[in-house]
Structure 1
Amino acid sequence: MDTEIIREIDVQSVMTKSSLPVGGYSVNPYVGCPHACQYCYASFMKRFTGHTEPWGTFLDVKHWKPIADPHKYDGQRIVIGSVTDGYNPYEETFCRTRTLLKELRGTNAEIMICTKSDLVLRDLDLLKAFPKVTISWSVNTLDEQFRSDMDNAVSIERRLRAMKQVYDSGIRTVCFVSPIFPEITDVKAIIEEVKDYTDLIWLENLNLRGEFKVRIMNYICKNYPELFPLYEEIYNKKQNDYWQTLEANMALYAQANHLPYRINDLPFGRSVKGRPVVVNYFYHEKIKLNNGK
């Protein structure tokens, strides 16, 4: 781990009303993330925290007033890890996510965890006590070299092994295919790999903006020069043809393989084994996710 700057901070509350499409509450037991994903949109958080260090090199460990009444969140969706990974490697030492789960025991809120880690397996005992739990792993490649170029998280193999173990334990799982890198992310190959141990496949395209746009474009130019014209078309000329074609192809693929297909949705429940729900969660600048409905 390259993270060098670790500090412990006191906060009034760790629960924040969410502006995310999934709604409910957004909970981040840490500020910053040692995964240091090259494409991470959450790097914008530096503006609000006063950090000037490069993204991925700092971590603030939050200490909050204990949650006195978990029933306050009954019926809500609680998303853990919207702008940081609650199971980053330092969680093994600080146990802030585990502490949070202990404090939330008794609520009937829907718990949703977003991670790139297999450390979540440590907390299966707590997670099984909640009536509604979803654990989502980000997997946008099966190529370990590309993965290591993009993040410092655990290997894809470890993520998928954890996903299967959680699925087999009876907890609902999501494979978050995000971000989809044009002509690099093989969405169908990922679905074929995970379809027997995930309930939902959530598809999100790569958005390039801010400081990481130049970094990713330079990476593509150096490592995938044959794809650079395509990335220029998508990210500099703002053409949506690639995403429209991919959307159409994924709809046909889902239909041909008898996979339920949704647009901008997060249905709860277990799927038929081998037939996960495929959700089109593309963020396009000019394409409405719900087709105007």
Structure 2
Amino acid sequence: MSKAQYEGYTDQAATKLVREKFGDTNVYAQNAKSILTKASGFIAAYDFTINPYRGCQYGCSYCYAAAFSPNNKMRHDWGKWVIFKENSADILEKELENWYRKNPHLSPKIYMSSVTDPYQPLESKLQLTRRLLEVMLPYRPVLVIQTRSPIITRDIDYLQRFQHLRINMSIPSGSEVVRKDFEPRSPSIKARFNAIYKIKHSIDSLKGFVPKLSVTITPLLPTLPTDESDFIQKLAIADRVVIQDFHPSDQRSLVASTRQEAKEIKNKYAWWYDSKHFGYLQFKEKLVSQLPGIEIKEGKAGFTYE
């Protein structure tokens, strides 16, 4: 099968046309042959990953998923294009039916999402993720949702019906100035914490299931000394805090690695990365000492459901 050619990113005849513009993002539609992908590597503890979108409007400078772009032009324009899997709900229904025919007494472990944000801005219009949640509910999966978006609160009515759910909210820094440098297209830190508070306090434990809540500080970005105490205090809303350093750099395509954009921004914060008084180990020690009773996990170990 010939490789898809995306309008705006090819010198050949385009086979995938821009369906619409969402802000400054080119949006393409595509039918998926499969929506459940066998989990491996970093999230091998799961049976499947599920990604309703390819590409991500947040376009974070450090995002390893840019390596999996359809071509180099799209890799360099990370954040300005999204491909949505138009038939994802129908495909998921078939795949889960097949799973339960083979595993009638075993709930699948699903990680959503590994290479996109399931609640990026386009989700507010398309509602693909919401439809996938609706499909999954009768199958009672063990589900982990990874996002940095307050849009997730829209789906509290579904989320509270999952008995085994963990929500990982990505908040890599406690300083807005740092966030704006590394991920200027993403929601504010305040909006993300507000989303966690709303999820935790809007669900009546007598009428629904309160999900497990993690804050994933991944990759760990600098937090200014003036913001650090407040940031750590706010992390107490979660039952788990996960920290992780940047992915190793690798110039090959199709390899999860830290992008050049992020490495250049890191130079601005050399005072944090190179200092004996700041940095990864020092921040970890502060989390452990100031958040008693909360799980502090590193890297792969922090992304399990348990």
Q: TM-score range by the shorter chain?
A: 0.7 to 0.9
Moved over 4 A (4+): 182-189, 225-228, 245-249
Alpha carbons of structure 1 residues 188 and 202: separation in structure 2 relative to 1, 3 Å: farther
Q: Which residue of 1 aligns with 2:198?
A: 165
Deviation at 1:149, TM superposition (A): 1.7
Deviation at 1:250, TM superposition (A): 3.1
Q: Which residue of 2 aligns with 1:12?
A: 33
Q: Give 2:195's aligned amino acid.
A: A
**253, 264, 270: which one aligns with 1:218:** 264
**138, 146, 159: which one aligns with 1:127:** 159
Alpha carbons of structure 1 residues 248 and 147: separation in structure 2 relative to 1, 3 Å: closer
Q: Which residue of 1 aligns with 2:93?
A: 67
- Match status 1:156 vs 2:189: yes
Deviation at 1:108, TM superposition (A): 2.3
For 1:36 and 1:249, locate their aligned partners in 2 and report how far apart those are by CA, in whole Å.
Answer: 26
Deviation at 1:282, TM superposition (A): 7.3
Consecutive unaligned residues of structure 2, counting only runs of 5 or more, are: 1-21, 204-209, 252-257
Deviation at 1:27, TM superposition (A): 0.6
- Match status 1:174 vs 2:214: yes
Alpha carbons of structure 1 residues 250 and 145: separation in structure 2 relative to 1, 3 Å: closer
Alpha carbons of structure 1 residues 183 and 135: separation in structure 2 relative to 1, 3 Å: closer
For 1:215 and 1:203, locate their aligned partners in 2 and report how far apart those are by CA, in whole Å.
Answer: 21
Q: Give 2:37's aligned amino acid.
A: T
Asked if structure 2 preserves the Cα contact closer than 8 Å seen for 1:128 and 1:171, the reply is yes
Deviation at 1:138, TM superposition (A): 0.7
Alpha carbons of structure 1 residues 182 and 131: separation in structure 2 relative to 1, 3 Å: same
Deviation at 1:171, TM superposition (A): 2.1
For 1:83 and 1:144, locate their aligned partners in 2 and report how far apart those are by CA, in whole Å.
Answer: 24
Asked if structure 1 preserves the Cα contact closer than 8 Å seen for 2:35 and 2:92, the reply is no
Deviation at 1:52, TM superposition (A): 2.4
Q: Give 1:56's aligned amino acid.
A: G
Question: Could you state the TM-score of these two structures normalised by the residue count of structure 1?
Answer: 0.75
Deviates further, 203-212 or 81-90: 203-212
For 2:168 and 2:228, locate their aligned partners in 1 and report how far apart those are by CA, in whole Å.
Answer: 16
Asked if structure 2 preserves the Cα contact closer than 8 Å seen for 1:118 and 1:158, the reply is yes
Aligned residues: 253
Q: Which residue of 2 aligns with 1:235?
A: none
Deviation at 1:181, TM superposition (A): 2.9
Q: Give 1:177's aligned amino acid.
A: I
Q: Give 1:198's aligned amino acid.
A: A
Deviation at 1:66, TM superposition (A): 4.6
Deviation at 1:183, TM superposition (A): 7.1
Higher-RCO chain (CA-CA 8 Å, sequence separation at least 6): 2
Deviation at 1:216, TM superposition (A): 2.5
Q: Which residue of 2 aligns with 1:88?
A: 120
Q: Which residue of 2 aligns with 1:271?
A: none
For 1:218 and 1:249, locate their aligned partners in 2 and report how far apart those are by CA, in whole Å.
Answer: 22
Deviation at 1:145, TM superposition (A): 1.8
Deviation at 1:94, TM superposition (A): 0.8
SS in structure 2 at match of 1:147: helix
For 1:145 and 1:188, locate their aligned partners in 2 and report how far apart those are by CA, in whole Å.
Answer: 16
Report the identity percentage. 21
Asked if structure 1 preserves the Cα contact closer than 8 Å seen for 2:232 and 2:290, the reply is no
For 1:282 and 1:242, locate their aligned partners in 2 and report how far apart those are by CA, in whole Å.
Answer: 26
Alpha carbons of structure 1 residues 187 and 39: separation in structure 2 relative to 1, 3 Å: farther
Deviation at 1:218, TM superposition (A): 2.4
Asked if structure 2 preserves the Cα contact closer than 8 Å seen for 1:26 and 1:82, the reply is yes
